[in-house]
Amino acid sequence: MNCDNMQANGAEQDRDSELSCQNGAQNGESSSVGAAHSNGLLSVTNNGNAVSNNNGVSAQPASNNNSTSDTNSGVKKKKRLSQSEEDVIRLIGQHLNDLGLNQTVDLLMQESGCRLEHPSATKFRNHVIEGEWDKAESDLNELKALMHSPSAIVRMKFLLLQQKYLEYLEDGKVLEALQVLRAELTPLKYNTERIHILSGYLMCSHAEDLRAKAEWEGKGTVSRTKLLDKLQTYLPPSVMLPPRRLQTLLKQAVELQRERCLYHNTKLDSGLDTVSLLLDHACSRKQFPCYTQQILTEHCNEVWFCKFSNNGTKLATGSKDTTVIVWQVDMETQQLKLMKTLEGHAYGVSYLAWSPDDTYLIACGPDDCSELWLWNIQTGELRTKMSQSHEDSLTSVAWNPDGKRFVTGGQRGQFYQCDLDGNLLDSWEGVRVQCLWCLTDGRTVLASDTHQRIRGYNFEDLTDRNIVQEDHPIMSFTVSKNGRLALLNVATQGVHLWDLQDRVLVRKYQGVTQGFYTIHSCFGGHNEDFIASGSEDHKVYIWHRRSELPIAELTGHTRTVNCVSWNPVLPGLLASASDDGTVRIWGPAPFLDVQDAEGLNECCSMDS
């Protein structure tokens, strides 16, 4: 707040010294017993009683101009503070006051010539914390002239009277509470619905019942402090700072730095205790999954697909060698070991889909495969082998969120909805399906087709609509967990991000080599902030979702990388399947001491 002259209680303060601090006691703002300190703010003792202390309005003791000039005759005149400098001093003062360093706040305000808040606000704060409701209500008349929106006074008065009413009820003063309700709250003609609710509290038989029904902490410092926080939102910051303003600004700064960090891949912690404020936030790329942790070589031919289970504990891989291998993920060491081999897929396995509860796994083959295999992963038994017609091509599948149905189709014009036994429930004729996805509404199925588009099909009312239109064939697509974004691998174009709700192309990611092979990309990392894709140049590319240039290019495979899958539970674990017959598991760099880590040769190239 500017330290210019201000009026409080109608008395104009001294104009002669622009930087002089106003004595908090001159307007009688402290209502507590004892010597009022310069700020007049309250600290709280352990027993919850409010005690006046030395913080609040700035506090240079009153002195005549002659003595001041005598004292400072040899001292250089103090520079006038800018608005931003005053704001910073007030923020620091508020924070120090919250820590109980009241004498330090007094000295800061005295030396800077600023004051923490307006005298009328200080007086109002003290009266609220002390529960002197009539005086607090009177203070509102003084604050009204300082507010940008005088109509807010009614809302503030309502909040004050509501607290007063509840405290009367808790103390068993039912008649006084009723008087507040009828003679003070109701005439405000504000929030009548809330007044009806408040009147219902008259029926509460005891204090605990009242606190529970009102979701209120009860009479005392805790509820009054919360009330003050609400009241402060109606006051301009020049009059009274918002509560804990410095902490709020620091949290915002930390969150912004994390959002801008290209490699941040851990859960966001909104607290300040886990970070250092002395350095900018920066995640090392050594913490990012771009180092080979394992190479799985059990397949004996091209590996066409890989997919982690929804709970992250298993990885399924499908190969041209006619097998599906299910791998167990050790959630502690993040190492994988072979769990089951599912054999007999004569055409090879080019697509896999886990059921929502991870009990079942469906395997599809390439274009000339008319069969679909539904495995029970817990028992290792084949539950269903489905084939509607030898003319079919069942190359893609998607589970309904209820886990009791799935849709499947292919490029020969078949599009089926089936139950777990392979019984046909519904069909859609003439749709040449390239890839499928079921939305979480349980009704809409997204299907990319040979017309370079994605359409939405509703099996309940048999309607369909166009959602995405590309200029080149959509080889595959996947959808974010919230159903808002779709990630497309587009022939000769690469990886495109679409907003399904607004039906707009959001971003085209650069770097990947995409011809007419079917390559499957994925979302991943915490909050699905990252995107990964295989490529025909034998690499795995990783982008931050908001950046078109790759932040990592993972090398190691020797032929086309057909599919990538990001573990949904372990954000530092990524799998890739390649025509070179291997599955690579990528994770953070192995533990090294600082000097070794600095000198480590990167196994992945990074674009800054």
Pick left, alpha or beta for residue 413 (phi over 0 → left; psi -120 to 50 → alpha; otherwise beta): left
What angle, 0 to 180 degrees and rounded to 10, lies between the N-to-C axes of helices 245-260 and 83-98? 110
List, in sequence order, every residue forming a beta bridge with 12; answer none if it has no partner: 7
In this predicted structure, the answer to whether residue 242 has a pLDDT above a threshold of 90 is: no
User: Going by C-beta distance under 8 Å and a sequence separation of 6 or more, which residues neighbour residue 294?
Assistant: 335, 336, 584, 585
In this predicted structure, the answer to whether residue 20 has a pLDDT above a threshold of 60 is: no
List, in sequence order, every residue forming a beta bridge with 466; answer none if it has no partner: 455
**Kind plus residue range of the DSSP H or E element containing 501:** none
pLDDT of amino acid 403 = 95
In this predicted structure, the answer to whether residue 552 has a pLDDT above a threshold of 70 is: yes
User: CA 408, CA 388: separation in Å to the nearest integer?
Assistant: 11
DSSP conformation class of 539 = -
Which amino acid does the sequence have at 245? R
In this predicted structure, the answer to whether residue 18 has a pLDDT above a threshold of 80 is: no
Token output for 263: 């490699």
User: CA 522, CA 540: separation in Å to the nearest integer?
Assistant: 11
In this predicted structure, the answer to whether residue 510 has a pLDDT above a threshold of 80 is: yes
pLDDT of amino acid 466 = 92
Binned at pLDDT 50, 70 and 90, residue 47 comes out as very low
In this predicted structure, the answer to whether residue 135 has a pLDDT above a threshold of 60 is: yes
User: CA 214, CA 198: separation in Å to the nearest integer?
Assistant: 8
In this predicted structure, the answer to whether residue 263 has a pLDDT above a threshold of 90 is: no
Tell me how many degrees the CA angle 504-509-514 measures, rounded to the nearest 5. 110
In this predicted structure, the answer to whether residue 72 has a pLDDT above a threshold of 60 is: no
Pick left, alpha or beta for residue 432 (phi over 0 → left; psi -120 to 50 → alpha; otherwise beta): beta
Cα–Cα distances in Å, from 271 out to 226, 425, 526? 20, 51, 18
User: CA 354, CA 381: separation in Å to the nearest integer?
Assistant: 15
Q: Helix, strand, coil proportions of the chain in percent (round to 5)?
A: 25, 30, 45
**Kind plus residue range of the DSSP H or E element containing 494:** strand 494-499
Pairing label, strands 474-479, 485-490? antiparallel
Cα–Cα distances in Å, from 285 out to 333, 533, 574? 20, 18, 15
Closest by CA to 497, choosing from 543, 458, 443, is 543
List pLDDT tens digits, range 165-180.
Answer: 999 999 999 999 999 9
List, in sequence order, every residue forming a beta bridge with 463; answer none if it has no partner: 458
pLDDT of amino acid 389 = 75
Which residue is listed with tokens 């397949």? Answer: 299
- Per residue, what are the HEC states of 385-403? EECCCCCCCCCEEEECCCC
Binned at pLDDT 50, 70 and 90, residue 255 comes out as confident
pLDDT of amino acid 603 = 41
Which residue is listed with tokens 């005149």? Answer: 77
Pairing label, strands 583-587, 291-296? antiparallel
Residue 441 CA to its chain's centroid (Å): 23
In this predicted structure, the answer to whether residue 300 has a pLDDT above a threshold of 50 is: yes
Binned at pLDDT 50, 70 and 90, residue 15 comes out as very low
User: CA 411, CA 540: separation in Å to the nearest integer?
Assistant: 28
User: CA 500, CA 480: separation in Å to the nearest integer?
Assistant: 10
Average pLDDT, the chain: 83
Coil/strand/helix, residue 26: helix
Q: In what order do the strands lie in the sheet with 405-409?
A: 396-399, 405-409, 415-419, 424-427
Question: N- to C-terminal Cα distance for the chain?
Answer: 43
DSSP secondary structure of 142-175: HHHTT-S-TTHHHHHHHHHHHHHHHHHHHTT-HH
Token output for 116: 């923490």
User: CA 104, CA 107: separation in Å to the nearest integer?
Assistant: 5
Tell me how many degrees the CA angle 118-122-128 measures, rounded to the nearest 5. 140
List pLDDT tens digits, range 553-573.
Answer: 999 999 999 999 999 999 999
Binned at pLDDT 50, 70 and 90, residue 17 comes out as very low
Binned at pLDDT 50, 70 and 90, residue 258 comes out as confident
User: CA 550, CA 290: separation in Å to the nearest integer?
Assistant: 12
